[in-house]
Structure 1
Amino acid sequence: MAKRFKIGDHVGWNSEAGRVSGTIIAVHTSDFDYKGHTHRASEADPQYEIRSDKTDHVAAHKGSALHLV
């Protein structure tokens, strides 16, 4: 099981543009629509919305893609 994160945690992940870091702004534990796509999430496998430190872009990722910074 992936590590659990909470709102306010500072995390990093790899993107097409390289390493990115940001702050978790939402935790989803059920399926949700994001940018026109349905993202699958559950209590056992939540997804996180993260606001990038550099661009303010918001991304959605599973916990397995994230690490604490």
Structure 2
Amino acid sequence: MAKDELKKGDQVTWRSHGEDVHGTVEEKITERTEAAGRTVAASKDEPQYRVRSDKTGHDAVHKPGALRRD
């Protein structure tokens, strides 16, 4: 595992609608799938992460570059 790779349970922050959102990594997605109400075109070479907002409890999916570890 890469040193900067996120894992389930990590606390992260991302930008949504001009505001910082805090939440938790729920899973690493490494294949094309449906998540958070949309098709996620992830792969082993380009993974994405399903995260859950601490404030709303809603799920979102983001590429690693959009997430900052808290």
TM-score band, normalised by the shorter chain? 0.7 to 0.9
In structure 1, distance between residues paired with 2:60 and 2:23: 9
The normalised TM-score by structure 1 is 0.87
RMSD: 1.2
SS at match of 1:44: coil
Residue 22 of structure 1 deviates from its aligned partner by 0.3
Q: How many residues align?
A: 66
Matched, 1:43 2:44: yes
Gaps of 5+ in 2: none
Per-residue deviation, residues 11-43 of structure 1 (Å, max 9, x unmatched):
0000015100100111100011121x3111111
Q: Could you tell me the percent identity over the aligned residues?
A: 41
1:61 maps to 62
Gaps of 5+ in 1: none
